[in-house]
Structures are given as structure tokens and as C-alpha cells.
Amino acid sequence: MLAQIRIMARLELCNLLGINILRFTKDKRKKKRAVMLSVLWILLIIMLLFYVGGLSWGLVEIGAGEDVPAYVIAISSMLIFVFGILKAGSIIFRRQGYDMVVSLPVRKGAVVLGRFLRMYTENLLMAALVLLPGIAVYAWQMRPDVSFYLCAFLGIWSVPLLPMTVAILIGALVTGISSRMRHKSLVASTLTIVFVFAIMYGSSRLTSVEGMESLEIMEELSGMISAMLERFYPPAVLLGTAIVNGEISRCLMYTGLFLSVFAAAAAAVSACFQSICRNLYTTAARHDYQMGDLKADSALVSLCRKEFRRYFSSSIYVSNTIIGPLMGCVISGALLFTGPARVKELLPVPVDLAVIAPFLLAGTFCMMTTAATSVSMEGKEWWLAKSLPLPARTVLDAKLLMNLILILPFYLVSEVFLILALKPGLQDSFWMMVIPAVILLFACVYGITVNLHFPVLDWENEVSVVKQSASAVLGGMGGAVLAILGGAGACLVPEGYSGGYRAVLCVLLLGITCLMYRKNNRIDLREL
């Protein structure tokens, strides 16, 4: 059994982060893209290290240094948990290679544990990026003894176990429930989104502190952070306290507990693995089909329908791209029911909500557009699209149109909520509708532009495209970053020039969007 686990884990890890393809590929364009992607990830990692290090240093400066290990453990666990829910089902129960795997003379438990170990390795790398700078800052400023470093080592490798296990169990539950239903992907996406929003709501309730405006409470910020961590994620406080105090026996106890939960989850998923996969990958066909009237549509409409079918056939694709529009509706609705006065009280600086609201709305809608990975999601079937006797413009317009149609109902609902909540004047109402529309259009065209330059068509799992590719990072977040910068500029511009600023910004974005759109249409899709 151990030999089988070792073999399956090696198969899962041999191409982690695309390293195996980079080593053996003969395609110079792939190597060039891989190098550019590596540079991008290195820059993002450096930014994350400085960010976490800065937060940890700030905690030490306000007298909350003892909370730094618990703080970074809680942050890394939350990241692992949220991202794990979104991708657990697609990794553990992925379809690619399933027929070959089940035919091998290995136990299903070895297959499941190999995939568990792959997720653990990815999550350990993510946790290390958050834990190491925080622990390094604490060690530099607090000067602990040797036992701290031993406990920190035990803590780092055991931190991903508990959040990852819970995320996998929820992902397995979602996948297991949806596998018994007709529309598997749609049900799985809905359940995943419900879990994510429930977690976000619970986190906001747990971390809410009454009376934040009181100066006396601000002076006791260290105690507030400890209380918040205990309410939000108690294991982080338990493990963090053991690391700070250098209690090796307690660290070993917590590590053993986390490992036991991990093993129990692997056993539970192994017991249901084959039945869930069987229900996921088999379909029941009805035999009462009757020929109806045949209808002919234009090439653009037919391709757009194909894009929608592909979109709703992937739960990981839906759950990662629909959360932004849903959050836009939730935030706009919350603003309507709570009132703008309450929101202004929570803001650190006085701002005109009618000015920044359209930028905030656009930022939530553009967190991850479908267009940013629409080309990569074609995968090995891309040859079908590029071999059609159609210009590149028609193929790319279908992807763009699908993204805009998908977002349209959420955009309209959010706009209605915002206008009813803020009751802006005629000019502000106009910009409230135009600015999000312009930024959304820019984000969709920009996403396709990035994806054409960084396509990933030989993927094994949809997670590598939707969450880990350069297109998902650069193309998916480009519109959101632009909205944040635009909102910051709107806050800095004097009130008398606000209308001109918004007009110039919209004209500039439309011009850049047109240039990118024309450049995309001149690309030869056969060269991708």
C-alpha cells in the first residue's frame, strides 16, 4: 500500500506548477511564456512577503507581537480553506485520466491519498508564503529562544492540514450531492457559492467588534486582536500560543490531532470515491426524443451558445467567475437596506458615495471575468474552433458577448439598488451607469487580450486554468485594479473637476478598448 501511495503521489506531483512541461518541451514559445509567468509569480510573491511582513511588524509595534504567529496562521488557513472549497472537487474527482487510473492494479485509497498529498503540497507552499515572513519578523524583533524555532517548524508543515481537510470534505460533499442530480455542474456551482457566501457572512459576524470608534477600545487593540482570533479560528490561537511559548509537547499534540483528522478525511473520501466518480461521469439518456423544427442561427449566435454550454458544464469555472457579480448585487442591496449614512460612518475618510460607488461596483464585477480564461478553457478542443471557416473576430466576439450577457442581469439589479440607495442627481446617475459599463467592457476585452498572449491549452485540470494561470491573474484582476485606481483618482480630484475626470477616464478607456479589440481581431488563431 505504501509503495502504491508513493507511486500515485509521484504521478500527481511530477508536473506540479507545469515544471515537467517546462523541462521537456521543445516549443520555444511555451518556454518563453513559462519564463514570463515565472517572473510574474516571483513579483507577486515578493509583494506578498512585504505585505505580510509589514502587517506583522505593525502588530509588534502596537504591542500585539505575541499574536503574530496566531495571526499569520489564521490568514494562511483562511486562504487555504476558501481556495480549497473552490477547487477540491475538481482535483480529487477530476475526470482527466480517470479511466486509466481505475484500470491500474492499485487501491482507490492510494489514488485518493496521492491527490490529497498533491493538494497538501500546493497548500503548504501557499501557507509558507504567509507564515515565513510573519515568523521571521517576530523572531527578529522579539528574539525568542531555540524552542520557538522548533515549534515553528512543526507548526508550518501542520498548518495546512486542518483547513485543507475541512475544505476537501465540503468539496466532496458538494460533488457527491451534485453527482446524483441531472445538472451536475450547475448544482455543484450553486452549492459551492452558497458555502463561500455563508463563510463570508460568518466571518463578518465573528470579526465584527462593537464600538470601534471608541478611543479607549483602540488603545486596547492588542486584546481585541486576540479576542477576534479566538472567535474566528481557535486552532490558530492554540497553535500560535504553543509556538510562542516554545511548548514542543503541545505542538506535537496539535500536529498529531491535525494529522489524524487528515487521515480520517482521506479514508472517508476513499470509501465514496468510486461511486461519486461513477455518478459524475455517467449520463442517463432518454429514448423518447422526437424531431422538431430545425432552426438556423448566425455563426456568432451559435458560437455564443456553445460558450454558454461550456461555461455551465464546469463547476470550477462558474463558481470562480460568478462570485464577483453576485457580490456586486449583495453589496448594492446591503447599501440600500442599511443606508448610505451607516456606510459613511465606517469609512476612514469622508467621501462622496455617489462618486466612488460606480468604481466599487465595477471592481467587484471585474474580479474574475470569464473572458480572461475563455480561450484556455477550450483546451485540447481548440483545434475545432480555429479550424472553422470563420474570421478570428467572430470566434472572439462570441466569447466577449457571452461574458457581457452573463453579467448584464447582475449589472442591472446592482444599478437599481445603487440608484435607490444613494438617490443621486441626474449627472451622478448617468456616470453611475456608464462607468461600470465602460470598465466592464474594458475588462472583458483586456481579459481576451491577455489570454491570447498566455494561452494554456494542454491543461490536465480546469483549476490550473481558472486559478493558477497567468491569464487568470493578469486578465482576471486587471479590471478590478483599474477600478480601484480610478476610484482613488475620483477621491483625489477636486469636486469641480469630478465630471471632467470621469468623462476623460471613460473616453480614454473606450479608446484603449477599441485598440485592443482591433489588435485581437488581427491575430491568427491557428498560431496559438
pLDDT in tens, the chain (528 residues): 677 777 777 777 776 666 666 666 676 766 776 676 677 777 777 877 887 888 788 777 777 777 788 888 888 888 888 777 767 777 777 766 666 776 777 777 788 888 888 888 888 888 888 888 888 888 888 888 888 888 888 888 888 888 888 888 887 777 766 655 555 566 656 666 665 556 555 555 544 444 444 434 434 545 555 566 667 778 888 888 888 888 888 888 888 888 898 888 888 888 877 777 777 666 655 566 676 776 777 888 889 999 998 888 777 788 788 888 888 888 888 888 877 776 666 565 566 788 888 898 898 888 888 888 889 888 888 888 888 888 889 999 999 999 999 999 999 999 999 888 888 888 888 998 999 999 999 999 999 999 898 888 877 777 778 877 778 878 878 888 888 888 888 888 887 788 889 999 999 999 999 999 999 998 888 777
**CA 155 – CA 145 distance, rounded (Å):** 16
User: Residues 436, 362: contact at Cβ < 8 Å?
Assistant: yes
> Which amino acid is it at 312?
F
- Cβ partners under 8 Å of residue 299, min gap 6: 388, 390, 394
**528 within 8 A of 382, measured Cβ to Cβ:** yes
Name the DSSP class of 495: G
In whole angstroms, give the CA distance from residue 164 to residue 158. 11
**How many residues in total does the chain contain?**
528
Tell whether the torsion through CA atoms of 487, 493, 498 and 504 is positive or negative.
Answer: negative
Over its C-alpha atoms, the chain yields an Rg (Å, rounded) of 25
**Can you tell me the distance from the alpha carbon of 64 to that of 351, in angstroms, rounded to the nearest whole number?**
31
At residue 213, the pLDDT reads 42
d(Cα 457, Cα 123) in Å, to the nearest integer? 24
pLDDT at 219: 42
pLDDT of residue 250: 87
Amino acid in position 319: S
What are the two backbone dihedrals, phi and then psi, of residue 58, each rounded to the nearest 5 degrees? -65, -40
Quote the Cα angle for 481-485-486, to 5°.
Answer: 115
Cα 7 to Cα 105, 111, 461, distances in angstroms: 12, 9, 20
Instruction: Give the residue from 6, 59, 489 showing the smallest Cα distance to 240.
Output: 59
266 C-beta neighbours (distance < 10 Å), count: 20
Q: What DSSP designation does 468 have?
A: T
pLDDT of 182 reads 57
255: how many CB neighbours lie within 10 A of its CB? 19
The pLDDT of residue 183: 58
Listed in sequence order, the DSSP H helices in 183-313 are 184-207, 215-219, 221-232, 234-245, 248-281, 299-312
Beta carbons of 192 and 85 less than 8 angstroms apart: yes
| pTM for this prediction | 0.69
Q: What are phi and psi of 390, to 5 degrees?
A: -135, 150
Given a contact cutoff of 8 angstroms between Cβ atoms, the answer to whether 318 and 185 are in contact is yes
Residue 61 C-alpha cell reads as 509595534
Those residues with Cβ within 8 angstroms of residue 191's Cβ, 6 or more apart along the chain or in another chain: 174, 177, 178
The answer to whether 496 and 509 have CB atoms below 8 angstroms apart is no
Are 435 and 502 in contact, with CB atoms under 8 Å apart?
Answer: yes
Q: How far apart are CA 306 and CA 273, in angstroms?
A: 31
Please say whether the beta carbons of 481 and 443 come within 8 A: no
The answer for residues whose C-beta is within 8 angstroms of residue 213's C-beta and 6 or more apart is 345
pLDDT attached to residue 281: 65
The single-letter DSSP state of residue 494 is: -
Residue found by looking up cell 448584464 in the block = 408
The predicted pLDDT at position 285 comes to 57
